[in-house]
Every structure is written in C-alpha cells, then in structure tokens.
Amino acid sequence: MITLLDYGAGNVLSVINAIQSQGETVKLVNSAADIENAERLVFPGVGAFGNMMEILQQKGLIKALKGYLEDDRPFLGICMGLQALFEESEEAPGVKGLGFFPGRVKRFEIDLSVPQIGWNGVNIKKPSALLNGLQGDEKFYFVHSYHVVPEASDIILTTTNYGIEFVSSVKKGNIQATQFHPEKSGDLGLRLLRNFINPKTEEVAIPDDQKGTTALSKRIIACLDVRANDQGDLVVTKGDQYDVREDGDVRNMGKPVELARRYYDEGADEVTFLNITGFRDFPLEDMPMIEVLKQTSKNVFVPLTIGGGIKDYTDKNGRYYSALEVATEYFRSGADKISIGSDAVLIAEEYLKTGQQTGQSAIEKISYVYGNQAVVISVDPRRVYVANPDAVPHQVIETQFPGPQGETFCWYQCTIKGGREGRELDAVTLAHVCEKLGAGEILLNCIDKDGTNSGFDIELINAVKNAVTIPVIASSGAGSAGHFQQVFTETDAESALAAGIFHRREVSIAEVKAHLADKVEIRY
C-alpha cells in the first residue's frame, strides 16, 4: 500500500496511475492520521510553493509530515514534494517550508529559457537502491523554474545541468525526493517508482561511464486535434489551414486514446490534445473529452497537455465557473499542462488597455495555483503583408518570402475562434504579454503553414522566441524529418509539434528521432 499526499496538485492522477501500473494500491491522505499510519508515503506535486504550504497548513498536515520525516520512514517527494522539504523558497518570500533539510529553493538565473521543460539526464553522486538499473545516460522529465540549494552536500543524490549544475534529487536515509517526474518519464520513471515500491536491500553502485554533464533534449510532440464529427463520435481530425472538412465530412484520423498510446509507444516526448470546438462548448459539460484524458493517463506516461475552452463561463442555469475551475477539472483528469488559446488574446488585449495586472485573468489565477509551467499559450497567427514597417502599429518583420504584391514586410495577426476572427494584436506582443502575466510556454502555430507540409515558419518562430524567455513549441507545417532538423538548427525552439504526418504514417516519431540522432540532443 502506497499512501499519497494529495494537496490539490495538478498531476495527482498521473502519479496514481503510474503506481497502480506497477501492481500497487494507493490510499489518499484525508487526515494527519493517514500520514502517521502510512507504510510508504509519496508527496507529488506541480504547483506554486506558497499555495502548497498554505494548503498543507489549512489541512493540518504539517506536524504529521514533519514527524514522519523525522522518524526516517520511507518517503518519496516529487517536484514540489522535493522543494517542500527545505526551509524557504524565493517563489514565496516569507513562507516557511517543512525545514527538514537546511537550505532554500532558488529561481534559475541563467541565459536559457525558464522554466526548464523537457527531458534531461542526471549525474549520480552516491549509491541508491532508488536508482537501481540506471546506466547513467537516461533522461527524465523536468518541468520547473526553481531548484533546491542544500546547505549539506551529503544529501545530494543526483545533479543535472541546465545553464548551471543544480541538485535534481536528494537522499537521507529513507527520505528521497526528485525534482524530475518519474510518473511522466516513461518506462524509466516507472522503473524508479517500482524501485521505491519494492526496494532492494543493496544500494546500486555509481555507473562508471557517466558523461559528467547532461543536456536538455529537444522534444518531439504529437498533437491530436479532437472534435465530434457529424455522427457525434469523438475523433482525431486534421485541418488544412484550419479547415477540418473534406468532401463535406470531418476528417477522421482515428480515436484519441488509441492514437495517444501509439505515439507513446513510438517515443513521443509529449502528447497534446486540442479540443478544437472548445470555444463553443463548456468543457465541464464535455465529458467525453475529460474521459479521453482519464483513459489516456492510465497508460501514457509522458506529459499530457489539453487545450480548448479554458475560460470563465456561466452555464445555462446561471452557475458561474472560473477558468481556474475548468483547468482544475482537466488537471484532476490527467492533464499536466493546460493550453489557453482565444481567451489569451482577449486577456492580452485587456492588459494592453490598462497596463495593469489584476491577478484575475485565467493566466494569472491558474499559474498562481499550479505554477507558470502548467500554463501554455496557444497562438494562432496568420501573415499580413505590409509595404513598409511603419504601416501598422505592430511588430513587423522583414521577410524572405514576399507577399502577393511583392511586399517584403509582414506582421503576424492573432486570431480567435479557430482562426475565423482576426484581431488587432500581433503574435510577438501576445507572447510577451502572456509571459508577463504568468504563462510558462508558448505553443506557436501558423495558419498559413497548417496542412501544407512545407516546413515550419522559421521567421515567425525566431520573432517570438527573441521576445520571450519561456520555452517555445514550434507548430504547423512539418512534412518531413528534415523540417524538424531545420527548426532545431535555425531557431532556439525547445520543441516541435506535428500532427498530420504522424496520423497518416507519412513519417513516424521514431524516424524523426533517428534522423536527428547525430544532429541535435534528443531522447531515445
């Protein structure tokens, strides 16, 4: 029996599913007594330090947690479950952690994108049965903006390089905790959880052939556009410049859960679901989409992102639901990140009118509770050509691809409602504003490139990437493995997403990775 501390973090169902996949049962903590009586305790979490500690205090769990740790009983902390063990965090000045380990939690001060999102390796610093079976070159999934800085070096289990060498896991006696997410690290992560559930008495020696440094992988993401077809069946579809119909019918590329599992087996680093009719329908009434998440998270152990309809909403009975409530339902159903599309444009427009952060937008509220790493902004721009850069009050670029009248300048107009409505806001400004409001990642689509198989819009990606310090996902236009190489060598995008070429088996994820193997850092 594994006892799991659920304080409201976003990835709890994923952890439960991962543990249950190893044949173990899970008991959720409902009171301090559950912690006191636990045989093995897991403390997971994606979120914000201050909110986490506030909830633990409100639930009356801190004393029991401290007692459990001091008794040196089997404990595994994950992400926030690691950070909580320390005295304080820069993320929440004045808020005390559990203080089991002397030290503090610091924000990354590096020239790379923050948060760190993706797959990175670990350098093993001391023997541990938890790491049984590791060879020293594996990669785990990370998603965080802050890292722990212990005062004592003897608790350091592993380190990882991301601009600096930081502590990625710790161990003291039976107390172990990781910054990375085993439940989202594929078969490797499941092995680590299995080691915790059924520990060996011997501690594994440090591998002799460790590289000494680690590197973040470029991510290959499979995207599934999901909607109901005319018969009412939930299907994966694919658009051509956002038109998903062919000969009058919605293109049917397969069933969402089955396709997600296929991409997991093929080596996808993440899977993204976009509920492309979410702007019309209230997600909490869209039970099939929620069920898709729940079923997928049972056997797909890489990060899952869900987008569509994450906004404030009043139902037909007058009941108001906040965007935070909608996002919470998705998180509790297996999502690791949520993607905000049309509503992000409206939020940015309102911010630009006043220049004031209210703390009340969907971006701000969700990032406060779950951390900015859980909030993705999906941008849907199209090119608008202009004769000169002063013709419009927008971020204009000089392009190598002239317009219909020979124009050599363009800007990228944001759209909403599935690309059907253009706004007087450019993609560069949108990305910059959303980062300021608390977003942690940009999913950068391109209507002009969608369905063309002509390659990513390199100019768009570079324009947005140069304007933000958060990770960027390149999307739209992939038609070959070479296009992935191009986007990773000609831009600083951390990941690239594709849909149609994977659905139609024109190029597999494995083939993309094989092509990239000796050209960029990838996860095998």
Active site residues: 79, 181, 183, 225, 380
Give helix 342-354 / helix 427-437 axis angle, nearest 10°. Answer: 80
Instruction: Name 472's bridge partners.
Output: 442
- Cβ contact 158:148 at 8 Å: no
Rounded to a whole number of angstroms, the CA Rg of the chain reads: 23
- Token digits for 456? 């990513």
The tokens 């994923």 sit on which residue? Answer: 14
Six-digit token string for 174: 């039976």
Beta strands in 268-380 (DSSP E): 270-275, 304-307, 313-314, 320-321, 337-340, 375-379
Q: Tell me the C-alpha distance between 364 and 253, whole Å.
A: 35
The CB density around residue 467, as the number of other CB atoms within 10 Å, is 17
What is the 8-class DSSP label of residue 449? T
DSSP letter (8 states) at residue 255? -
Helix (H) or strand (E) run with residue 409 in it: strand 409-416
Closest by CA to 414, choosing from 395, 433, 427, 431, is 427
Going through 22-152 in order, the beta strands assigned E by DSSP cover 26-28, 41-43, 75-78, 86-89, 101-107, 116-121, 123-124, 139-144, 146-150
Helix (H) or strand (E) holding 165: strand 164-172
Between the CA of residue 260 and those of 147, 176, 245, what are the distances in Å? 31, 32, 22
> What are all long-range contacts of 358-362, with beta carbons under 8 Å and residues at least 24 apart?
361/437, 362/310, 362/311, 362/312, 362/322, 362/323, 362/324, 362/327
DSSP one-letter code for 239: -
The residues with which 273 forms a beta bridge, in sequence order, are 224, 306
